[in-house]
Structure 1
Amino acid sequence: MPHRPELVVFDVNETLTDLSPLRDRLESVSAPRHLLDSWFAATLRDGFALTSVGAYADFADVAKAALRTALAGLGAGFADEAKREEAVAEVLSGFPALDVHPDVPAGLRRLHGAGVRLVTLTNGSAELSRGAFERAGVLDLFERRLSVSEPRRWKPAPEPYLWAVGECGVPADRAALIAVHPWDTDGAARAGLTSAWIDRSGTPFPAVFLSPDVTGPDLPAVVEALLALDQA
């Protein structure tokens, strides 16, 4: 039975930060806006694949490789290697400029005000999110910003979740993971954390994954559901 968490671990990309401005970056290099979806999915796929065979690469390196492949697949416009590399650099330079979703600050402040400890755990670089959190005025709400670069295993492998809660000195069953990704909530649940899913797009939760303990259409709704759980 899930408990009201002492610690909430947040995914970052798409959960807290809005990736949609990267569509403008793609368009600026003459790539289609919709390429963001398949590129980001390919980045996750390749990171997961490396983890599954006991290997590791940083998010930035995996994202670069996946974007090079995606751009090359667009045809003659990206046949020139130098042009591809310029486009890759331009698109990736947009990550530090991303902002948080509009619903994020209120949800974070509600949790923090309720005495719940907050940390992030990202498959990407922990430092990339600093600007987004500073601009939103929420950086100081997080006691730590963690990355899978330490355990060198991408989520949803169990090691990153268990490492994160261990670093914070909290048992897994007294922590929760909030994410928009069903694979992430599933991984956290299998590692023993309470799982919380933000469904901003109103899509069905994939039946192949463990159902999340709480769900909501935005972060404040998910926060209230977590705070309503039994404290025993």
Structure 2
Amino acid sequence: MTVKAIFFDAYGTLFDVHSVSEKCEQFFPEKGMQISEVWRQKQLEYTWLRSLMDRYEDFWKVTGDSLIFALKALDLQASQEIRSALLNEYLRLKAYPEVREALELLSNRKLAILSNGTLQMLNPLVRNANLTEAFNDVISVDELKIYKPYMGVYELGTAKLSIDKTEALFVTSNPWDASGAKTFGFQVCWINRNNKPFDELGVKPDLIVRDLEELANILQ
């Protein structure tokens, strides 16, 4: 496997989207993880639907709308102040514990984030995790106004790093994203943190690991 550049998905791969459950729990005891799970699922669905309908709104708007849905679906009443407090947690998502060390081990290659998030959402996460120096670039779909797994998003990554897709590795914890990247022609690593089955979409990842530390050890 020749890997000259590595693209990382952000949400669920580098940063734990369910770290928002702690703040959800503060406002809605015993409902924190349930809110987070519905919120995340609807967030993803809205990106796919908006891409199919050609009705792009940026990821901050999508994340806010999906939070409103999650609260309604669970019959939870929340003021604008509470919704804002929960939404702002997406600017403070926690990096997974192995991320920083793994990126250091992989630093002899070009490294970039390729994400659905806007730069206004991604940059604070990178700064808060002290990862600013780890990446050659942080790339957002907002430049194209369409979400992954649109093929043009993955192509944008190769253009930004001036790399051939066959010499790049795409790393994600999201099976649908891994399938999109593999269809585009990337080498793909799926981070399977929770021992789940891979999607049945006619493609498979080249590597399956439990976390980024395992990937870094393989590529060393």
Q: Normalized against structure 2, the TM-score is what?
A: 0.92
Cα contact 1:68–1:85 (8 A) shared by 2:
no
- Percent identity at matched positions? 24
Q: CA deviation at 1:134?
A: 3.1
Q: CA deviation at 1:168?
A: 1.4
Cα contact 1:71–1:84 (8 A) shared by 2:
no
Letter in structure 2 aligned against 1:107 = A
Instruction: Identify the residue that residue 172 of structure 1 maps to in structure 2.
Output: 165
Cα contact 1:173–1:194 (8 A) shared by 2:
yes
State the alpha-carbon separation in 1 of the partners of residues 70 and 13 from structure 2.
24
Aligned length: 218
Once the two structures are superposed, the pairs formed by residues 1-232 of structure 1 within 5 Å of their partners are: 3-30=1-28, 32-33=31-32, 34-75=34-75, 77-78=76-77, 83-112=78-107, 115-225=108-218, 227=219
Cα contact 1:179–1:198 (8 A) shared by 2:
yes
Aligned to 2:16, what secondary structure does the other structure show?
Answer: coil
State the alpha-carbon separation in 1 of the partners of residues 188 and 146 from structure 2.
19
State the alpha-carbon separation in 2 of the partners of residues 25 and 43 from structure 1.
18
Q: CA deviation at 1:35?
A: 1.5
Q: CA deviation at 1:164?
A: 1.3
Q: CA deviation at 1:70?
A: 1.8
Letter in structure 1 aligned against 2:133 = D
Letter in structure 2 aligned against 1:16 = L
Q: Please provide the CA RMSD for this pair.
A: 1.8
State the alpha-carbon separation in 2 of the partners of residues 155 and 64 from structure 1.
19
Return 177-186 or 46-55, whichever deviates more: 46-55
Letter in structure 2 aligned against 1:57 = E
Letter in structure 2 aligned against 1:169 = S
Gaps of 5+ in 1: none
Letter in structure 1 aligned against 2:204 = S
Q: CA deviation at 1:74?
A: 2.9
| CA separation of 1:41 and 1:4: change in aligned 2, threshold 3 A | same
State the alpha-carbon separation in 2 of the partners of residues 212 and 223 from structure 1.
16
Aligned to 2:94, what secondary structure does the other structure show?
Answer: coil
Return 173-182 or 118-127, whichever deviates more: 118-127
Cα contact 2:4–2:109 (8 A) shared by 1:
yes
State the alpha-carbon separation in 2 of the partners of residues 224 and 211 from structure 1.
21
